[in-house]
């Protein structure tokens, strides 16, 4: 896969001392779009770029439509200190937000952005986390195990999947008649409501 870089970060933002956010996504990008729209009129926050590891991910089309620069990268690009790390640096990135991004973050990025990389997981961690636990796989496991509650977990990222410090959780009921699709809808509602709000509180409190 060739690396494709589209557009430049909005450098005027630096003159205003804005907080620059990079969003990493691997799929449709509904959470990414919600975050972009939430901050579009915020004078303190700039969504600088969408980073994506999947050339067929719809998030790239969302980024183009929303006029957000993007970077499509390969696994080699990501796990070597090259184009991804260099672009984050040239964009003067302050925070990295994972919105449906499926690869483990390399240690050098964790070291470079300590407590500045945030992920959302569609379950109540520490349950139903770890490698391979994403999307409908999580909801299927929750239902099959007879859980009466599920929800979302927003957490800092460390060197292990879904094991970073928990920042925020929100719950929803799981009913006997729920399917993976109906539970997914409940989880998406929680994500869209809470993720941008928690990001805003977190970054503005820190900066």
> Which residues are marked as active site?
121
Return the beta strands (E) in the chain as ranges. Answer: 4-6, 19-25, 45-52, 70-72, 95-98, 117-121, 149-156, 166-173
Q: Which two tokens stand for residue 4?
A: 């494709």
- Residues with Cβ < 8 Å from 115, sequence gap 6 or more? 156, 165, 206
Residue 76's region, left for phi above 0, alpha for psi from -120 to 50, else beta, is alpha
């Amino acid at each position: 896969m060739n690396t494709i870089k589209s557009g430049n970060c909005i450098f005027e933002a630096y003159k205003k001392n804005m907080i620059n956010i990079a969003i990493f996504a691997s799929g449709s990008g509904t959470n990414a779009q919600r975050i972009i729209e939430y901050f579009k009129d915020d004078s303190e926050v700039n969504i600088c770029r969408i980073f994506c590891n999947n050339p067929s991910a719809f998030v790239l089309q969302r980024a183009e439509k929303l006029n957000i620069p993007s970077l499509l990268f390969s696994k080699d690009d990501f796990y070597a200190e090259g184009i991804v790390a260099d672009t984050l640096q040239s964009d003067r990135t302050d925070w990295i937000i994972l919105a449906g991004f499926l690869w483990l973050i390399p240690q050098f990025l964790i070291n470079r952005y300590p407590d500045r990389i945030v992920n959302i997981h569609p379950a109540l961690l520490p349950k139903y986390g770890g490698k391979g636990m994403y999307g409908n796989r999580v909801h299927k496991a929750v239902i099959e195990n007879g859980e009466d509650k599920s929800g979302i977990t927003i957490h800092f990222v460390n060197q292990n999947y879904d094991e970073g410090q928990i920042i925020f959780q929100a719950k929803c009921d799981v009913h006997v008649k729920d399917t993976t699709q109906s539970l997914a809808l409940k989880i998406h509602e929680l994500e869209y409501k809470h993720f941008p709000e928690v990001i805003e509180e977190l970054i503005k409190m820190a900066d």
